[in-house]
Amino acid sequence: EQTLRRKGRSGIFSLHHEKEKMPERPFLRRVCSFTRYPMERNSVSDFYRLLSLYEDYLSYGYERERDDDPGLSVVQTQTGEDSLDAIAFEVRSCRLCRLSATRKQPVPGMGKSSPLVLVVGEAPGAEEDAEGLPFVGAAGKYLDKWLGAIGLDRNTNTYITNVVKCRPPQNRDPLPEESACCLPFLVRQIDLLKPKAILTVGRISSQLLTGQALGIGQMRGRIYRYRDIPLFVTYHPSAVLRNQAEYRSPVWEDLKRLKEYLKDDLR
Ligand code: URA
C-alpha cells in the first residue's frame, strides 16, 4: 500500500492501479492475522505473496512449493525501499494476467544496476521462457552483437528487460491488458536503474515508452525522453534477422546516434 502511494507519482502506474486500490491497512492487518506472516508486512510484494497464498489455499488447500526465494521479499520489508530483487520476486510470483498460466519461467531482466543503457524489448520468447533470462535466443545473440559494436555489454554496463515479463503463447504480440499488468514492474525498474539512456527495440516497447502510436520507421531518427531519460528507438533484432536488407543500415544509424550520445561515458 505504501509503495503504491509512493509510486503514485507515475501517471502510468496510477492509471493501472488506481481503479483497483489496494485494501486499507486495517483490512490488510485482518488478512495478515490469518496467515503465519507477521502483521507489520506492508509492501506490495507482501500483498502479492498473500494473494498467492490465498490462491494456494483456495485452489489446493495447502501451500505449494515455490522456487523463488522468499528472503528477497523480507529485504524489501525491512528497508521499506524498492529493489531489483524485490521486483524479481514479485514478477516470479505474479499472477496478474493469463500469461502466468502458460509461462515456464518469468523473465524479470538481467544486467548491471546503474547501467549506461537500459534495453527494453517486447516479451520473452521460447528460449527466454526456458532459461528465465531475457534475449538469450537468436535475436538476443544478435542484440549482443549490436551492443558490443558500440561498447555496451549486459555484463558490464547495460541492463536488459522486456515490457512483458512472461512469454505470450506462440510468441504473439502481448495484449494491451498484459502490457498494462506488467508495466508497473518496468516503471519501477527504470526508477531504480536510472540509466543514462533507454534503447527500445521494436514497436511494442517503443510505442509504450514514447507514447507514439507509430511504426518504428516513423519514430526512429530522433531522441525522445522518458521521465527525463533520453530514449532511442530502433527495430527489433528479430525483425532485422528476418529482413537484413531493409533494416540493417537504419539500425546501425540508430546505434551510432546512441553511441554519440554516450561518447563521454564510453571512453
Ligand atoms: N524478444 C524480445 O522482445 N525479448 C526477449 O527477451 C527475447 C526476444
Cα–Cα distance for residue pair 159/157, rounded to 1 Å: 7
Residue 60's pLDDT band (boundaries 50, 70, 90)?
A: low
Instruction: Find the 171 Cα to ligand 1 centroid distance in Å.
Output: 9
Instruction: Find the 262 Cα to ligand 1 centroid distance in Å.
Output: 24
Ligand 1 neighbours by CB, cut-off 6 Å: 121-125, 128, 134-135, 139-140, 162
Per residue in 65-96, pLDDT (tens digit) is 654 444 333 334 445 689 999 999 999 999 99
Q: Are 198 and 233 in contact (CB under 8 A)?
A: no
Note the pLDDT of residue 226. Answer: 96
Q: Are 125 and 170 in contact (CB under 8 A)?
A: no
Mean pLDDT, all residues of the chain: 82
Choose the residue to mutate in 128, 165, 178, 242 for probing ligand 1, maximizing ligand atoms within 8 Å of C-beta: 128
Buried b (16+ CB within 10 A) or exposed e, 194-213: ebbbbbbbbbbbbbbbbeee
CA-nearest residue, atom 7 of ligand 1: 135
Average pLDDT for residues 15-25, to the nearest whole number?
A: 43
Note the pLDDT of residue 81. Answer: 83
Cβ neighbour number for residue 114 with a 10 Å cutoff = 11
Q: Are 89 and 43 in contact (CB under 8 A)?
A: no
Note the pLDDT of residue 80. Answer: 67
Note the pLDDT of residue 1. Answer: 43
Note the pLDDT of residue 127. Answer: 98
- Sequence-distant (6+) residues with CB within 8 A of 175 are 168
Instruction: Find the 109 Cα to ligand 1 centroid distance in Å.
Output: 10
For the CA of 134, the nearest atom of ligand 1? 6
Q: At what angle do helices 71-79 and 44-59 cross, to 10 degrees?
A: 140
Closest CA to 21 of 32, 9, 5: 5
| The C-alpha cell that represents 249 in the structure block | 543500415
Note the pLDDT of residue 70. Answer: 40
Q: Are 125 and 151 in contact (CB under 8 A)?
A: no
Instruction: Find the 187 Cα to ligand 1 centroid distance in Å.
Output: 18
pTM of the prediction?
Answer: 0.74
| The C-alpha cell that represents 99 in the structure block | 500469461
Residue 54's pLDDT band (boundaries 50, 70, 90)?
A: confident
231 bridge partner residues: 198, 224
| pLDDT value at 61 more than 90 | no
**Alpha-carbon torsion (16, 20, 21, 27), positive or negative:** negative
Instruction: Find the 18 Cα to ligand 1 centroid distance in Å.
Output: 29
| pLDDT value at 5 more than 50 | no
Q: How far is Cα of residue 40 from the mean position of the Cα atoms in its chain? A: 28
Cα–Cα distance for residue pair 182/162, rounded to 1 Å: 9
Cα–Cα distance for residue pair 25/66, rounded to 1 Å: 27
Choose the residue to mutate in 107, 159, 161, 162 for probing ligand 1, maximizing ligand atoms within 8 Å of C-beta: 162
230: DSSP letter = E
Average pLDDT for residues 156-167, to the nearest whole number?
A: 98
Instruction: Find the 124 Cα to ligand 1 centroid distance in Å.
Output: 5
For the CA of 107, the nearest atom of ligand 1? 6
Per residue in 208-250, pLDDT (tens digit) is 999 999 999 999 999 999 999 999 999 999 999 999 999 999 9
Per residue in 175-213, pLDDT (tens digit) is 999 999 999 999 999 999 999 999 999 999 999 999 999
